[in-house]
Structure 1
Amino acid sequence: MTSTSTPPGLARFNDLEEHAAAAALHEACASAAWGRRLIAGRPYADADALYAASDAAMAELTEADLAEAMAGHPPIGRPAPGDPASAREQRGMAAASADLRAEMLELNLAYQEKFGHVFLICATGRTGAQMRDAARERLGNTPEREREIVRTELGRINLIRLARLVAPVEEDRPRP
């Protein structure tokens, strides 16, 4: 059992059976190696320790691990049906014009052709135009430079998703 000083959402995560923790982490990131590393680090005293473990695990992912993680992300502008996380994160594309959506589709295809994987960006809080501009700019990168950017963007996405995972639920919050 986790200490009572641990925030309730994090305590719940710490106390999950291993298979349940793995499933919850897979929702945050499709890399099994990343998930195993975070499970191995439990229990976490606070969210910052969990986030630091996530960053350390991201830094150690192999090319195959990164490919596995990226395979869990739909293209920008086309969130996976039934995936509330990708729809929420890509909200900036929801109000985009038909022209911008068509351009983003073309950029996604050009990016995938050049780099062999989906264009990955931490879309939370970004407008459709900002995502388009980032895709345009990143098409000029070398594969080596792009891999490092992808690792950073994936790390940002993971931290946002981990924060949601360990956030207190309504019954945990103090009442006024």
Structure 2
Amino acid sequence: MKSNFHKKEYKKRQIVLSHSISLRGKNFPYSIDESGKVTEHYDPKYYSDFIDPSIDRVIIPIVLINEGWLHPDPISGRFTNWTGKEYSKPDENSLRQNWRTYRHWSTYSDEQIKSCITLCKELCDRFNIPKKSIGHNVILDHVERYKGITCRSNYSQTYTDLSPSFDFHYFQKELKK
């Protein structure tokens, strides 16, 4: 599948953190896998169809590869992700917290979070975006006006990324260093 980025430049004011189970579509400039490897899919000075046309031009999406919400299988005792595939990590590596009608969440690796912090700092410097984060994953009125780092779930209740397993406290602390 090809990327859907638009080769037109706009001043960026926000980084939007998100997650995806795969790289299908690649409608984002960056992805970070569980090992912390950062991949650039296109130059972030351009934009793609990511959230909404009125917002996409001024944001830089970063996608962490993550299985998202998990469903417990009562027969096997294991978890499956939203596609029905068995969760790739042991049961004890899922976070149990009720949020947006789900209870179990795949975790983000320490390497992912560290790479995300490094990439965010670099992008903030390059695009003159303030090194500050909303610091939570719930909806925020007028989030599109915010200058700094947000996550997709700040935009709409339909999004579950970033999930409760993302360590926002650690992220904010390290971002300030």
TM range (shorter): under 0.3
Normalising by structure 2, report the TM-score.
0.25
By percentage of residues, which structure has more strand?
2
Higher RCO (CA < 8 A, seq sep 6+): 1
By percentage of residues, which structure has more helix?
1
